[in-house]
Amino acid sequence: MRINKYLAEAGIASRREADRLVEAGKVTINGRKPGPGDQVEEGDEVKVNGTVVRPVVKKTVIAFHKPVGVITTMDAASPDNIMEALMSAPVPPPKARLIPVGRLDVSSSGLILFTDDTALADRLMRPDSGTEKEYDVIIDREPTPEFLAHMAKGVRLENMPAPQRIVMTRPAKVKDVGATRFLIIITEGKNRQIRRMCEALGYEVRKLRRTRVAGVELGDLPEGEWRPLTKQELASLA
């Protein structure tokens, strides 16, 4: 197994970040400093900054349907936090150190992934990951063709949180599904992005639900419940 994959499976870093650790001389295999493409054989001792690391035998990734009103924070002192919501599911979640992958604002519902694989979480949340996220959106009035085309082309957003106060969203895939509803697929996750995009074009979001992340679908998973991922879904995140 290549050293960068070994470190990624140990939950130390993504493969790209693992290469940087190797190049910085912070990794050893049996006491020697490897190159980025070196292999780790069975029985080898791998250390990062002098600490032995081993791949996690089994990674846990689950899908959770976040209800409206739940805050995506791991702060146990925060009311209505997402960890409390997950632990309150009808079926207890796996006994693993799970963290949410990304965020959904308090007024939105839908799919959010949890995992104990920090490298996977970091990779999926990286701005340049290109991970597709699909949303079902209901707005305050029927969208015009110009509005939909503008949403697909990209929208200039102002008054954003620091460090960038003004940003241009990436091109998105948009589909009109009738009345005041449309679907949108984005590959980024700026703060309240879809709501801000609609507001910038004079529309108000009445309901926002995330229905897909990469190849993982929300499907008919009830609000406040979770399920394990299938092998195909796990492969879509690789």
| Residues with a known catalytic role | 105
Between the CA of residue 207 and those of 135, 182, 194, 238, what are the distances in Å? 10, 11, 11, 31
Rounded Cα distance, 16 and 187, in Å: 19
Candidates 90, 26, 101, 92; CA nearest to 63 is 101
Widest CA span in the chain: 65
Query: What does the alpha-carbon distance between residue 184 and residue 152 come to, in Å, rounded to a whole number?
Result: 8
Q: What is the CA radius of gyration of the chain?
A: 20
Q: What is the C-alpha separation between 49 and 25, in angstroms, rounded?
A: 9
